[in-house]
Structure 1
Amino acid sequence: MEHADELSSTTGNTTRTPFWPYGWWAIVELRIGIIPLPVYLLLLGLVAAFVLTGKVPGEISMAIAVLVLCGFTCAELGKRLPVLKKIGAGAIVATFLPSFLAFYHLLPLKLLDMVNNFTHVSNFMYLFIASIIVGSIFSMDRQVLLRGFAKIFLPLAAGSLVAAVAGTVVGSLLGLGIKHTLLYIVIPIMAGGVGEGAIPLSVGYGEILNVPQGTIFAQVLPAVMIGSLCAILFSGMLNWLGEKQPHLTGNGMLQPESDLQGERLPDDEIPAAPDVNTVAAAAITAISLYLVGLLCHRLIGLPAPVAMLFVAVFIKVGRFVSPNLQGGARIVYQFFSTAVTYPLLFAIGTSMTPWNKLVAAINIPNVVTIASTVAALMATGFVVGRWLKMYPIDAAIVNACHSGQGGTGDVAILTACDRMSLMPFAQIATRIGGALTVTGTLLVLAHFH
Structure 2
Amino acid sequence: MDLNIGIISLPIYLILVVLVTVLTMQGEVKSDAPMMIAVLVLGGFTCAEIGKRLPILHHIGAGAIFATFIPSALVYYQLLPAPIVKSIVDFTKFTNFLYIYIAAIIVGSILGMDREVLIKGFLKIFVPLGVGSIVAGAVGTLVGTLLGLGAYKTFFFIVVPIMAGGVGEGAIPLSIGYAAILGQPQGDFFAQVLPPVMLGSLTAIVFSGILNFVGKKYPHLTGEGRLQPAGVGEDLTSLNTDEKVSTVDITAIAGAGLTAIVLYLLGVMLFHLIGLPAPVAMLFLAVVAKLASAVSPRLQAGGLVVYRFVQLGMTYPLLFAIGVSLTPWNKLMAAFTIPNLVTIVATVFTLMATGAFIGWLMRMYPIETAIVNACHSGQGGTGDVAILTAADRMQLMPFAQIATRIGGAITVTGVLVILRWIT
TM-score normalised according to structure 2 size: 0.97
Residue 255 of structure 2: which of 239, 262, 281 is its match?
A: 281
Counterpart for residue 200 of structure 1? 173
Aligned-partner Cα distance in 1 for 2:56–2:232:
36
Aligned-partner Cα distance in 2 for 1:199–1:111:
27
Counterpart for residue 21 of structure 2? 48
Deviation at 1:57, TM superposition (A): 2.6
Partners of 1:77 and 1:93 within 8 A in 2: yes
* 1:22-421 correspondence runs (5 A): 28-258=1-231, 272-421=246-395
Aligned-partner Cα distance in 2 for 1:213–1:329:
42
Question: CA distance change for structure 1 residues 35 and 176 in 2, over 3 Å: closer, same or farther?
Answer: same
Deviation at 1:273, TM superposition (A): 2.5
Deviation at 1:53, TM superposition (A): 1.1
Q: Tell me, what secondary structure is at the counterpart of 2:44? A: helix
Aligned-partner Cα distance in 2 for 1:270–1:148:
22
Partners of 2:113 and 2:236 within 8 A in 1: no
The amino acid across from 2:392 in the alignment is: D
Deviation at 1:258, TM superposition (A): 2.9
Partners of 1:270 and 1:326 within 8 A in 2: no
Partners of 1:163 and 1:376 within 8 A in 2: yes
Aligned-partner Cα distance in 2 for 1:334–1:54:
35
Counterpart for residue 240 of structure 2? none
The amino acid across from 2:40 in the alignment is: L
Structure possessing the higher radius of gyration over alpha carbons: 1
Aligned-partner Cα distance in 1 for 2:10–2:381:
31
Report percent identity of matched pairs.
Answer: 61
The amino acid across from 2:264 in the alignment is: Y
Aligned-partner Cα distance in 1 for 2:399–2:35:
34
Partners of 1:139 and 1:270 within 8 A in 2: no
The aligned length equals: 418
Mark the runs of 5 or more structure 1 residues left unpaired by the alignment: 1-27
Q: Tell me, what secondary structure is at the counterpart of 2:120? A: helix
Deviation at 1:51, TM superposition (A): 1.0
Deviation at 1:81, TM superposition (A): 1.1
The amino acid across from 1:247 in the alignment is: H
Aligned-partner Cα distance in 1 for 2:216–2:142:
33
Aligned-partner Cα distance in 1 for 2:38–2:233:
45
Q: Tell me, what secondary structure is at the counterpart of 2:31? A: coil
Q: Tell me, what secondary structure is at the counterpart of 2:231? A: helix
Partners of 2:263 and 2:285 within 8 A in 1: yes
Mark the runs of 5 or more structure 2 residues left unpaired by the alignment: 238-242
Aligned-partner Cα distance in 2 for 1:164–1:127:
33
Aligned-partner Cα distance in 2 for 1:327–1:72:
27
Aligned-partner Cα distance in 2 for 1:174–1:263:
46
Residues 108-159 of structure 1 deviation map (CA, whole Å, 9 limit, x = unaligned): 1111111111010101000000000000000111111111001000000000
Partners of 1:206 and 1:216 within 8 A in 2: yes
Q: Tell me, what secondary structure is at the counterpart of 2:165? A: coil
CA RMSD of aligned residues (A): 1.4
TM-score normalised according to structure 1 size: 0.91
Deviation at 1:55, TM superposition (A): 2.9
Question: CA distance change for structure 1 residues 262 and 29 in 2, over 3 Å: closer, same or farther?
Answer: closer
Aligned-partner Cα distance in 2 for 1:295–1:128:
19
Counterpart for residue 438 of structure 1? 412
